[in-house]
Amino acid sequence: MHTSVLVPLNDSVSSKALLDFIIEKSPFADDSIEITLLHVFRKPTSGEELMGKKFMEEQPERFRNLLENAKNRLVEERGLAPEHIHIQLLTEPYPSVTEGIIDYFNKGNFDIVMIGRKKMSKSEEFVLGDISVKLVRSLDNTSVLVVKSG
């Protein structure tokens, strides 16, 4: 019986901390885990659009490489079987990353979501929102493991 884990990643410090946690401290047996590494694109901000068309076109490849590197670390440093690690890039933009994660989770068959979280002030959390809190509230019938980074 495999435990199916959804692991949303981006290029943040909290995603690095999450990957480190999975490699060093994951409670799952290596032969009983299926991991899906996920990156969700959201609608670009006006600042991102100002970076130009070439910048925007390079983003899917950039994040595919990020997910491939994460997979390689899980194989090399944790010893997971490569066939048990899947990569999914949601390039069709969602209004928010949270909505993309929830939508993908609901379409799949996952037992748990593991997500990184950086420390935020109350005002940052109010303005920016907190993906991990939204996931805990929205995914009633599943476990959400939140790994805090410094």
pLDDT tens by residue, 12-55: 888 999 999 999 987 776 778 899 999 998 876 666 666 666 76
**Whole-number pLDDT of residue 137:** 84
**Whole-number pLDDT of residue 60:** 86
**For the chain, what is the largest distance between any 2 Cα atoms, rounded to a whole number of angstroms?**
48
Structure tokens at 143: 């476990």
CA atoms of 71 and 85, how far apart (whole Å): 7
The answer to whether 144 and 11 have CB atoms below 8 angstroms apart is no
pTM to 2 decimals?
Answer: 0.85
